[in-house]
Structure 1
């Protein structure tokens, strides 16, 4: 059979052609007065292991399928059919590698094939005549029959196809039969870093085509920013009329009119209701006037440079795969808008067409990408790559045509992308040529060809910061071809993927954004990516978790590389999304306390600031003492205004309020009573389609004038260490082991530690890139032994008013060490620990962390702190962390990354309190401020877990008080931690003061952080 195939007789699913029998592609429209019948719902289903395991008798009228199982349409069959006897395969994930031999166009004989049957009746008032059957998405190849007549075959999973069926329809008892193959020649074009999931996963629709109905139309809506006029022309087959009542237009199709209009942009998505009418059909339209152009080396819309604050978006649902309903699409876009995201790259295929309607409505720049990726050919040095093989060019052109024709009428679509990670070849040039002829009004994008021979923008993925700056200055290394080099330097630059959001991270966002703002050529980009692709599963006892590559028995997989989004699989925002919102906020607020002013700059591309209200709060020690509103002019884009800070109540009143609170540190020490902060917020002045009034768009925080600190409670006399029975030493509220100097009890409660700690459960970014193993920091850390440091007690010295413990902390099989001296003192009810660390040897690797770890009673469930919050923050992911007083439960402090890893640190903490329900507990203050992490499991348990359900509360509450932490970066696929955020071994000194809490005076109420309970929500 295979040899016969090689001689030229190939089955349709291995033929390189796009298919047979389909109508020419056309624009998509959501509704018209022509009838539609949704053929979704329960379909009869049979799964076979091979493409030729069954004949086509199931498509004949009268076939008995009562013994078959059932699936929902739309769906992916591996995500359905869990009843005994009706298991329908399993999902599989690979990033680059094809899960079958690279033998184009052939696919394995083991080719799961799903036969689908759907019986339907026409509505009683169905008028008869012409009709089309439309499939919006089938993975990966289908053959279709209606009432026993074969309609044709098709590939191109994420693109529509239509068949003419009017003559075949019957009033009753119509039978639609669809055979779907998981693997086909089309699979070689769809290697797109996602789950391999076959099935009919988008809508199937029967659409009436009355005599004189619209065959296709193309809306041209240009905008001239110099005159404020828009020009409208609608080309239509057959001819008809176009009316735009709000503009007083009533035109024949093909006729052009120029009138004053309000333009469409992602910030101001102005749409005009219109109607296209032909003899047989009326279609409601929503049109937006805008012009896209590359001018003077800059991408412009409506004459202005735009800055893309974007994300890559796969279609994904944790229960249904790529089946995403309209409510979820809107939810995604609302969440994006609320986090200051203004652009989407539809990686790596056109989305459901309804998504683009929502982008038009809510306002989003869209890079529409073709259903094309051949990344798996990289493994064979690109031999046989279809984009460089003329036999595949008709299939490539077919995909480009189906995308452009379907989506050409959306103002949100400002760029066409030829595909992703396909290498180079003449097929891409053919696609670009066809697109330019059909739609010269939009630029073309493709990242994989550094020469940019076929593109209008220079695109890269994961270029590091230094290289991005060189490109911004148009000083990147030259190409060999001088003409191409000159042309490329004249193009705008876009990072089509950057800041890989896998696990904890991404770090380095702020540094990227400053480059985008500094260099006109650098016009932003698209974070990879929007959502973690974890599939919801449950353990035997019903505990939910999210599965990733390898969890379904795949022979070849890429693990949790499929979980690299800014939202968790259930669409809970991750700390990375909160950070991104802050970094890309479109309003800059800079305070100058000395001058008594605030400078506000409008960073929008089109909108003025009239839609925002500005509010301020003045806090001392985390207590709001005064608040109000700023009056800020309706600044145009790029404009700034200086606003005077308001007059405050007298400083004595502020100090009195702080003193009435009992002191900011609640007895924890640290003397922070006089710390003052201004917080200025820009919020929506009125409700919008995506957020209510009061929604925060931007904010800034800056130090205020010093406020006299309240009178601190007397420390009490310094305690002298005394020896006690059982080999113990008592120093104030602390009880120590006399031989080792280890703290055993604090305020009568058992304690484990504190001891110097340098290890963290490696993040996905610590694990590094799969293709650069030499840069995988976690392997280097483990090879050095940082996860198994040994502590040698060198000396325990009991002084007149102190206990000093000298240790050497070192990994086995190495002469490197950290000489650590712990000095304990006590006064009153407070116990102070001073730590001095001195590296010994030549440390070349950065440390994961530097601080102390201690174990406490697990009943300390409530955490309150003054410092950075409300969410997690690390040295290079701290833009969204603001100083204040925050409260949380231990559970809510955990961030449930799909693969467990280091998480949950709160930055710049001055003091913290850990309490039981009765208010008893422990307070700690740091000198200098520290990073606080509190967990119900140890670092070792976190490190060992592969899924969230494997983390089980232990009998100890583990508290990390860190002097410093290594940065996060985005090295899971992108740049490593920037040099300034690396934690190299160096002499360090820091201190903590511990105070037992009695549950009386210290139990004052504090404001709730309102932080999402990540752990509970992500696995609910």
Structure 2
């Protein structure tokens, strides 16, 4: 027997419909000459544990909210001391029984009393607008119920003119955390209820437009734009710069400069009706898929994009205008040209900024039903249930109507990870009928019947190449297969930036630039969603899933961004900037010539100034401007370099060529570096090891060799010059596992980090087999291996001494059949804690790994050991510097040690905790400095890989177990 309630007996917050009482969706605009009143501010607030746990008498004029708390609107009550946030990736944090939700349903009652300004006009209508409420809101004004609505990231308006009074208006809003709509909003992010976007009262004078649609196209063959503004009331459209004065509904053509993300040309205009004057910012552009390629203004574009959630560590999804602008400036300064608004429409002001500053936008509907993937065939999925279709169409309509006048919006996205269903097809059909000027995107239906893109997530490099060649495996349905092959490839998510990741960005970019069909993609994602916490003793850190008492959560999967929570760029963002830079500089300096190629889609290079610097052994010895002719998009030029500086310059010599902004722009100042390259002029000559000058000699249980002292029994280096080591150099293969090493929880196969642990690489033991001294060297023979396995590594250390140097040759021979690559291979040594000032000649200034080192620039660098660390929200392997020729660590007085590569170079890492302590830490505050600086000097490192569920790094970046030899020199540094 079925005891379910019939739908008509369900409470409104369990109704599948989108709501009742709201006005039709319409275009959003930030200003006009009509009056408006912000209702943001401090509101009275009461939280109940259930949806029906409190009465509605608070809506009355004479209700007394004494004893209520206060919250800031816009905002989330769980970030203001009422309840707690919760994070899940795809799992619903409540039983899946649509459209029902638990009785335990946190419900926030909000009450705000406001007066109208003295100059608030009479006549006409007034509209109460909510730009975002999660997840269901019921609204009263002056005791009269206006209606209720869902669709958290979309605007809703009510007509309220007849209810307003000059003084003492009482606005009451009941917000439920859970509703039927929660099944449509299963995005990978914190669940954060509340009135989190603006609340505004808008006067609508008689004769003001309810809605208007700006159609501004561009014909790249003629250079002419066409403009038509449709409006529900008659009026005139003027664009003074273009000499246009049109009636609404009339179309005119005129020569214009087109809008693009690179050259975001906007024309100021105005829509004037009898009741209102609305400023317009018009961008002329035409976009769409032509001959299997997505084009703008006739040219193929390459998306160098990011997925962007709205997030601020203090205010959640409540963002102010300055934070939005800061995000876009950071994107532009890191060569990002596109944003996917994952997985909901952003605050509309963000799109104004995209219009102004220049970003391509994939505007995504507020829709995701990912949690249904847990059930066979996505059983119960709302997009395949016609009872949900009105809500889906309402969301599509509110998205398109709100944002249709933004030139930056070039693609409508139906939503994210909803599998397939007729509801999506009806959304796509409505969108295409309403706006045929933009492409439609959807990724999660492999038939792509509703998408203008062959859209994929996290596609391996080899498969991207096959798709680029149009050699992907066919679909069973020939018609669908032919359609899919006609579509451009868009990686709507790729390169998961979780923790120390992603690797392989440069390899992806090479494919995008090689194959016309591959039109780039969007890195997941923009920012770590860490929320501030403090330890009991007051030390700050960022929390993630599970830190707020959630019974179900996805851990630190919410921290997977190119920015840290405080909006500090991560090493991955610096890497991405280099990989996607829009100017390419190549060449062979032995011919005294380089090639400069303009990789912009639309802009020529006249906005750039080029410079050169000549460096010897990491020191700049000369620099100057470089004359490069203006290059059209896609064009190249061969450019002569100046003659290298003369004089007694000895050592490795490198040209650094940079492209910088020639003048201030709205997004960066003059001199901002857009692109760069380093080209070798004189290769490095690996130092020849000096002849042995000293023989080992025994002294009271020790062995002395030149400036060094060794333990006679173990052959361990214990002192060098005046420096006593905490631990002498010995073979090390372990690293604190990265998020990618650890893998994803849904993987069927064992992730690499788990294999390393199973084998026991985190608990290697060192056995000394022999300590042999001859006339010129000390040789220590060891076997390094974990318990419970026959795998091992024979490591031989041969020490010799020059006049003031200690030389080491390391030979490593594998023993057994190794089933996996190593995390690292090199030496680990420990120095006293006061040796905390690092300097090196090699790659920098930031960290790098084999498949993430494009941004590593050869030079001389110096910083503290503390500054060498990268503070990932969940600690993990970090801080390596690549291509290091030499590195040194000193104390405050200048005493220390230098390590020099006598083979090619090494990877250098120094930190105040061991890799094991780093691996065990859950938060940055778990890392407590000890009395030792631990230094890794690695011959090789394992790459990072692109995401936790891939097959690991590409083969060329894997540290295969094989016989290895490397040589180093150790020099004691005296006080300055």
The two structures have a TM-score, normalised by structure 1, of 0.94
Contact kept in structure 2, 1:502 and 1:970, CA below 8 Å: no
- The superposition leaves residues 707-745 of structure 1 with CA deviations (integer Å, 9 ceiling, x where unpaired) of 999xx99968611111111x1111112111111111111
**In the alignment, structure 1 residue 284 sits paired with structure 2 residue 284:** no
Q: Distance in 2 between matches of 1:297 and 1:447?
A: 17
**Match for residue 108 of structure 1?**
102
1:382-781 correspondence to structure 2 within 5 Å: 382-650=378-646, 653-655=647-649, 673-705=650-682, 718-725=693-700, 727-751=701-725, 752-781=727-756
State which of 889, 901, 913 in structure 1 corresponds to 2:864. 889
Cα displacement (A) at 1:512:
0.3
- The superposition leaves residues 892-922 of structure 1 with CA deviations (integer Å, 9 ceiling, x where unpaired) of 1000000000000000100011111211111
**In the alignment, structure 1 residue 898 sits paired with structure 2 residue 878:** no
- Taking a change above 3 Å as real, the CA distance of residues 293 and 713 of structure 1, as seen in their structure-2 partners, is closer
1:1006-1017 correspondence to structure 2 within 5 Å: none
**Match for residue 960 of structure 1?**
936
**Match for residue 372 of structure 1?**
367
Cα displacement (A) at 1:328:
0.4
- Taking a change above 3 Å as real, the CA distance of residues 714 and 871 of structure 1, as seen in their structure-2 partners, is closer
Which stretch shows the higher mean deviation, 808-817 or 912-921?
Answer: 912-921
Q: Distance in 2 between matches of 1:31 and 1:95?
A: 37
**In the alignment, structure 1 residue 828 sits paired with structure 2 residue 803:** yes
- Taking a change above 3 Å as real, the CA distance of residues 610 and 169 of structure 1, as seen in their structure-2 partners, is same
Contact kept in structure 2, 1:499 and 1:974, CA below 8 Å: no
Q: Distance in 1 between matches of 2:191 and 2:684?
A: 61
- The superposition leaves residues 167-226 of structure 1 with CA deviations (integer Å, 9 ceiling, x where unpaired) of 000100000000000000000000000000100000000000111111100000000000
**Match for residue 944 of structure 1?**
920
State which of 853, 858, 867 in structure 1 corresponds to 2:842. 867
Q: Distance in 2 between matches of 1:911 and 1:290?
A: 53
Q: Distance in 2 between matches of 1:518 and 1:811?
A: 45
Q: Distance in 2 between matches of 1:789 and 1:531?
A: 37
1:181-200 correspondence to structure 2 within 5 Å: 181-200=176-195
Contact kept in structure 2, 1:37 and 1:207, CA below 8 Å: yes
Cα displacement (A) at 1:974:
4.6
Cα displacement (A) at 1:834:
1.0
State which of 900, 908, 912 in structure 2 corresponds to 1:932. 908
Cα displacement (A) at 1:750:
1.9
- The superposition leaves residues 783-816 of structure 1 with CA deviations (integer Å, 9 ceiling, x where unpaired) of 0000000111111111111111100101110011
State which of 802, 808, 813 in structure 1 corresponds to 2:777. 802
- Taking a change above 3 Å as real, the CA distance of residues 213 and 654 of structure 1, as seen in their structure-2 partners, is farther
Contact kept in structure 2, 1:134 and 1:204, CA below 8 Å: yes
1:155-170 correspondence to structure 2 within 5 Å: 155-170=150-165
State which of 315, 325, 330 in structure 2 corresponds to 1:330. 325
Q: Distance in 2 between matches of 1:7 and 1:914?
A: 71
Cα displacement (A) at 1:654:
4.2
Cα displacement (A) at 1:973:
4.4
State which of 121, 124, 132 in structure 1 corresponds to 2:118. 124
Q: Distance in 1 between matches of 2:949 and 2:202?
A: 45
Q: Distance in 1 between matches of 2:955 and 2:6?
A: 55
Q: Distance in 2 between matches of 1:777 and 1:973?
A: 10
1:990-1001 correspondence to structure 2 within 5 Å: 990-1000=966-976
State which of 816, 831, 838 in structure 2 corresponds to 1:841. 816
1:126-165 correspondence to structure 2 within 5 Å: 126-129=120-123, 130-165=125-160
Cα displacement (A) at 1:536:
1.1
Q: Distance in 2 between matches of 1:807 and 1:974?
A: 35
**Match for residue 856 of structure 1?**
831
The size of the alignment, in residue pairs, is: 971
Contact kept in structure 1, 2:689 and 2:807, CA below 8 Å: no
Contact kept in structure 2, 1:971 and 1:977, CA below 8 Å: no
The two structures have a TM-score, normalised by structure 2, of 0.98
Cα displacement (A) at 1:861:
1.9
Q: Distance in 1 between matches of 2:564 and 2:4?
A: 48
**In the alignment, structure 1 residue 29 sits paired with structure 2 residue 29:** yes
Q: Distance in 2 between matches of 1:881 and 1:404?
A: 43
Q: Distance in 2 between matches of 1:707 and 1:331?
A: 41
Structure 1 unaligned segments of length 5 or more: list them: 82-87, 656-672, 1001-1020
Contact kept in structure 1, 2:76 and 2:315, CA below 8 Å: yes
Q: Distance in 2 between matches of 1:597 and 1:485?
A: 47
Cα displacement (A) at 1:57:
1.0
**In the alignment, structure 1 residue 263 sits paired with structure 2 residue 239:** no
Cα displacement (A) at 1:362:
0.2
**Match for residue 69 of structure 2?**
69
- Taking a change above 3 Å as real, the CA distance of residues 713 and 806 of structure 1, as seen in their structure-2 partners, is closer
Contact kept in structure 2, 1:293 and 1:299, CA below 8 Å: yes
State which of 283, 297, 300 in structure 2 corresponds to 1:302. 297
Q: Distance in 2 between matches of 1:503 and 1:967?
A: 14
- Taking a change above 3 Å as real, the CA distance of residues 374 and 318 of structure 1, as seen in their structure-2 partners, is same
1:35-74 correspondence to structure 2 within 5 Å: 35-74=35-74
Q: Distance in 2 between matches of 1:893 and 1:737?
A: 31
Q: Distance in 2 between matches of 1:437 and 1:473?
A: 33
Contact kept in structure 1, 2:728 and 2:830, CA below 8 Å: yes
Structure 2 unaligned segments of length 5 or more: list them: none
Contact kept in structure 2, 1:620 and 1:654, CA below 8 Å: no
Q: Distance in 2 between matches of 1:707 and 1:217?
A: 65
- The superposition leaves residues 830-863 of structure 1 with CA deviations (integer Å, 9 ceiling, x where unpaired) of 1111110000110111100000000001111211
Cα displacement (A) at 1:770:
2.2
SS of the equivalent of 2:762 reads helix
SS of the equivalent of 2:632 reads coil
- Taking a change above 3 Å as real, the CA distance of residues 4 and 594 of structure 1, as seen in their structure-2 partners, is closer
Contact kept in structure 1, 2:723 and 2:972, CA below 8 Å: no
Cα displacement (A) at 1:384:
0.6
Q: Distance in 2 between matches of 1:926 and 1:20?
A: 72
Q: Distance in 2 between matches of 1:450 and 1:717?
A: 67
Q: Distance in 2 between matches of 1:865 and 1:496?
A: 39
Cα displacement (A) at 1:594:
2.4
- The superposition leaves residues 280-319 of structure 1 with CA deviations (integer Å, 9 ceiling, x where unpaired) of 0001110000000211100000000000000000000011
- The superposition leaves residues 47-85 of structure 1 with CA deviations (integer Å, 9 ceiling, x where unpaired) of 00000111211111110001100100011001002xxxx
Q: Distance in 1 between matches of 2:648 and 2:207?
A: 77
SS of the equivalent of 2:274 reads coil
Q: Distance in 2 between matches of 1:771 and 1:248?
A: 60
Q: Distance in 2 between matches of 1:759 and 1:801?
A: 32
**In the alignment, structure 1 residue 226 sits paired with structure 2 residue 226:** no
SS of the equivalent of 2:14 reads coil
Contact kept in structure 2, 1:765 and 1:968, CA below 8 Å: yes
Q: Distance in 2 between matches of 1:539 and 1:285?
A: 50
SS of the equivalent of 2:882 reads strand
